[in-house]
Structure 1
């Protein structure tokens, strides 16, 4: 085949998708396989083998592999990730109170070292005594380290010295803050670095699994990963900076949506198992969030599409509030393993427990719920407390019913911590189960879904009535709730884009009346000014009703189920580097960024050096990221106000951006 085939892979929380794509013909073949947490290569190989078989294609026809994933996004939304040690250089404990850093840190260890630099890159002496004392013990209780130095973006020397010493003693992955962002704002940069460190092992496992499978199949071609802004980077770079892959899946879906629909203006909503991601396409381009991506409640310094991610999906937890006169359902933010999927994998175990619980005279608080290990490698369970380790030991690879596992409320809290570490899944009813009961989905075990919903329907509201009279009626309530919550999150994202983010659609009475078409002397109406593009495997069953409630057209492309994988192969490589010129004293110009700080006495020479450095560094980064013949653009911001009649330079910022299509195998 003369035409190059590009292989796009998207690893989501539930499914791994694969597409074979031709730049001449578009999508040649597509396939799905379940994401296998215990060994990601199994799901990847399942999807890729299916797509190769469908296309009757030889592996020799593949010239590029590109990967997108929601694993990093899901981990942050669900509060998961490895245990990381944070080393702060030149900061104090009071800095943890800024930008949500203390909350993000949780119970992970933090060390404060004297040192750091000032705004011009001049150092305060570094003292590593505390690090030397703590390292031997720390290295046994964390899976990675994050290092953040005061003004490290102006001079990274102290971060580099601390990084080298940690690697020498612990042999664990270390992330430095200057490697992730050139922006000022130490605590937020430290937060971003901490989150990056937690994600290292997860993304490393994903890329390693993909590379291992490709090697074994004889597919020796460049491999790319989608960044959160939709651009592509090489797999090697993604391993070093996994935080840049947060919103990778959503960004890929946006690129894919534009390619598949041809729409320049649209609201794009992508529903997966764990999250719903919403963004706006304007004149064919997604807007980047200049402040940094917000995921799981944390604002990072990662440049990404202005995508809002909500903990709402087909596998969301269904929370039944039965204290009021009428029961209320709420979905998310945690992802559960659907009962229908658990039974597909472990049928007899699930059926036997559900049938036993249904035969009981009275319902139990843990009815219809199971725990099962996620299957991650054992080393990721390091640092468990004794009670956590004991409970983890009792949970295996086959689901165990919670009514047999938990003997106290304290044990429930312990289980929640194991779930938070990404070590254990809870299996229970989800919207996917409701869709199975209603016959709108059918890929897994429908009977297990029916039994689970029949159990849940027995719960009684404050008036003593069952919350639903059958599994089918509860399924309809769940799907109606998903439709409404989806409308709420889409509206919230769009109102924020419009600058009206103070309106909360979930709490607003006028919005509620408009969406429910409630009559009255005053009529409220709501509609979107552009089509709603629905993406995701379940888009055709969910989005027509959502678009109808929002009074707009729905656009669900034929390949909506693999839009992320399409977006992964049609994107471009892009790298940006900023170099600064500052003035510590009259007539002295410091050029910092993309190398050692340089002191000059001529402003134009400083500006010229800054431009050259930025261009060279951007081109180098683009080549490292796999770009083929990248083109460069430069933007300059010079802050030089007039003070008492004379110009006073405060700062010059020179940003070079290099972009181009990725190299393919035949070009090498």
Structure 2
């Protein structure tokens, strides 16, 4: 049992590698299209291929580990099931904080009296509003999120609400104290809401993987990569799917370090939906102390300090036709590439594209098709009448939008269905542009060329045609992706240096440096480390993007499966924390949602610190074992905050953090 199976499920492809643990190298790799309607198909396709290519048998596999960009993509694209948020002890104004209102969209919120104070003392809890709402909500949401005031000091009210929901509904429930021990209730509520939305998606991924392993007779432990690059057991990940945001990118960083042995680098990973950029310092990815930021949401999830942008090979290509000179816009929404869609449905796609080319007047719906994704029925909970009426007309077979939609008002309805992950749009993407130019040949190049030709008929604000030929337009799209990639690389490194990257990249001085504008004052830009390009299309874009910003670019041999490699070479790593504060009686109170103490009040600071450290160390070790670690080691740190007044030391508070790590048990 000297081999590991690494899997990565991305927005477009599912990657698989067989890793030789003795040789410390990749024995075989394979890819299969990700099948969002049934993830098992794509997983089985990639895994079966790589097993066949390597000649490795089920009994040879000692570890299976998966990473994924599904959670990241869902947040970037604004997808996820309808979720009810239960706020205990909070008020209406709290919804305005931490981006919670935008994240909620039109999802329901129930406010309950209750919660706790800073010492964990309870206020009266009233469940009547929840009891009244549950019967109706059960059929209109796919999950529940529960956030209580100071639940990190006492989770009793969150637990009571969870038990009531479990008793009255069959929907999954996420409590905020299960995800973070940090203060800032609205931010914790946001993290909990997003976690609840992702439960079904990650459960489908894990269950699909387990199903394949069972059919193959593979009994090795199944692990999942978290957003900080560490590994946890599949069962552990099912309870905390939010921790898998940035899972795929984090695995890529681990894989990039393994493939290049470079300790200092900028890592850029381009996939179908997103571009992920991170910094490698001293052989480890930087961790974002403020919490992972994805899709405009700042969460409480510990993850790599990575900036995720809605830019990839399958990004939607749009035109800003209102400007005097029309400009190409890419993303952030992912489309099904028209050349890929035409592979499965040539008899539908090709005639429609030809018909639209023969029309006298082009329309904004040309070259666009819609089809259902095959998501589970519970993901459609809470649709409006107009949304339900439209999705009833959409089938598994792509339909052209110019025939499907009854009017422009239905465009907004269609966008809402796409945001829920229920419908996918097929259209022109950078991947199609590569087919038109001849760089890619694996899908239907004729369909890509016809779709590009539809764009050439469009005009800018001056009434001039956008472009003369499909090839010229496609090159414009490719150039735009390269330029946007270079901008995102610069923007990200400026942010890492504590600057406002987005505004600095647009400054005239930076533009002069990038364009190498001649003049008396010449500008040059220097970065202190090279670029590692990852992703299946890395060689197509990153050398040119690196040249724009004056970087050396390294694209390793297995750059296309770096995430699957990173999934099997990482370690289990978990943390447990506790807080110590003084109450009104000058006693030292130890609080923490994951620790157990027979007594949590102490008269001496040293006793409180000792008890907290012992409890955190024990809890972290047990948590690591539950997460799938073997031979666990634990490191404990403390942060004691005190002031000195009139020569006297006064205790303010203390934090204890225990970090447990180890390789997965095999």
Normalization by structure 1: what TM-score?
Answer: 0.98
Per the alignment, residue 258 of structure 2 pairs with 259
- Could you tell me how far apart the structure 2 residues matched to 1:646 and 1:373 are? 69
Shift, 1:547, TM fit: 1.2
Per the alignment, residue 572 of structure 2 pairs with 573
Per the alignment, residue 627 of structure 1 pairs with 629
Shift, 1:6, TM fit: 0.4
CA deviation string 1:538-589 (max 9, x = no partner): 1111111111111111100000000000000000000110011111034411
- The question of whether the paired residues in 2 share the 8 Å contact of 1:32 and 1:47 is answered with yes
Q: Secondary structure at the match of 2:397?
A: coil
- Could you tell me how far apart the structure 2 residues matched to 1:23 and 1:644 are? 61
- Could you tell me how far apart the structure 2 residues matched to 1:60 and 1:513 are? 59
Per the alignment, residue 234 of structure 1 pairs with 233
- The question of whether the paired residues in 2 share the 8 Å contact of 1:269 and 1:279 is answered with yes
Q: Secondary structure at the match of 1:305?
A: coil
Matched, 1:595 2:596: yes
Aligned residue runs from structure 1 range 67-466, under 5 A: 67-466=66-465
Q: Secondary structure at the match of 1:648?
A: strand
Q: Secondary structure at the match of 2:655?
A: strand
- Could you tell me how far apart the structure 1 residues matched to 2:646 and 2:397 are? 76
Cα distance change on mapping 1:324 and 1:382 into 2, 3 Å: same
- Could you tell me how far apart the structure 1 residues matched to 2:395 and 2:509 are? 49
Per the alignment, residue 647 of structure 2 pairs with 645
Shift, 1:651, TM fit: 1.1
CA deviation string 1:180-205 (max 9, x = no partner): 00100000000000000000111111
Q: Secondary structure at the match of 1:85?
A: strand
Per the alignment, residue 547 of structure 1 pairs with 546
Shift, 1:464, TM fit: 1.9
- Could you tell me how far apart the structure 1 residues matched to 2:370 and 2:518 are? 46
- The question of whether the paired residues in 1 share the 8 Å contact of 2:490 and 2:501 is answered with no
Per the alignment, residue 527 of structure 1 pairs with 526
- The question of whether the paired residues in 2 share the 8 Å contact of 1:587 and 1:602 is answered with no
- The question of whether the paired residues in 2 share the 8 Å contact of 1:488 and 1:505 is answered with no
CA deviation string 1:296-334 (max 9, x = no partner): 101000000001000000111111112233221111111
- The question of whether the paired residues in 2 share the 8 Å contact of 1:154 and 1:592 is answered with yes
Q: Secondary structure at the match of 1:268?
A: strand
Normalization by structure 2: what TM-score?
Answer: 0.98
Aligned residue runs from structure 1 range 557-572, under 5 A: 557-572=556-571
Consecutive unaligned residues of structure 1, counting only runs of 5 or more, are: none
322-331 or 409-418: which moved more?
322-331
Matched, 1:517 2:516: yes
- Could you tell me how far apart the structure 2 residues matched to 1:247 and 1:105 are? 21
Shift, 1:103, TM fit: 1.1
Q: Secondary structure at the match of 1:426?
A: strand
Shift, 1:106, TM fit: 1.1
- Could you tell me how far apart the structure 2 residues matched to 1:387 and 1:333 are? 25
State how many pairs are aligned: 662
- Could you tell me how far apart the structure 2 residues matched to 1:63 and 1:216 are? 16
- The question of whether the paired residues in 1 share the 8 Å contact of 2:580 and 2:608 is answered with yes
Shift, 1:407, TM fit: 2.0
Shift, 1:648, TM fit: 1.7
Q: In the alignment, which of 7, 10, 31 is matched to residue 8 of structure 2?
A: 10
Shift, 1:603, TM fit: 2.2
Matched, 1:504 2:514: no
Cα distance change on mapping 1:473 and 1:502 into 2, 3 Å: closer
Shift, 1:439, TM fit: 1.1
Q: Secondary structure at the match of 1:140?
A: coil
64-73 or 15-24: which moved more?
15-24
Consecutive unaligned residues of structure 2, counting only runs of 5 or more, are: none
- Could you tell me how far apart the structure 2 residues matched to 1:637 and 1:505 are? 36
- Could you tell me how far apart the structure 2 residues matched to 1:94 and 1:368 are? 44
Q: Secondary structure at the match of 2:474?
A: helix
- The question of whether the paired residues in 1 share the 8 Å contact of 2:578 and 2:616 is answered with yes
Shift, 1:264, TM fit: 0.7
Matched, 1:617 2:616: no
The CA RMSD over aligned residues, in Å, is 1.1
Q: Secondary structure at the match of 2:263?
A: coil
- Could you tell me how far apart the structure 2 residues matched to 1:583 and 1:297 are? 37
- Could you tell me how far apart the structure 1 residues matched to 2:521 and 2:643 are? 53
Per the alignment, residue 606 of structure 1 pairs with 608
- Could you tell me how far apart the structure 2 residues matched to 1:193 and 1:240 are? 11
- Could you tell me how far apart the structure 2 residues matched to 1:211 and 1:618 are? 27
CA deviation string 1:423-454 (max 9, x = no partner): 01111100000001111112111111000001
Cα distance change on mapping 1:366 and 1:225 into 2, 3 Å: same
Q: Give structure 1 regions of 4+ aligned residues with deviation exceeding 3 angstroms.
A: none
Q: Secondary structure at the match of 1:279?
A: strand
CA deviation string 1:240-265 (max 9, x = no partner): 00000000001000000000011111
- Could you tell me how far apart the structure 2 residues matched to 1:317 and 1:292 are? 28
- Could you tell me how far apart the structure 2 residues matched to 1:429 and 1:595 are? 56
Matched, 1:39 2:41: no
- The question of whether the paired residues in 1 share the 8 Å contact of 2:313 and 2:431 is answered with yes
Q: Secondary structure at the match of 2:619?
A: helix
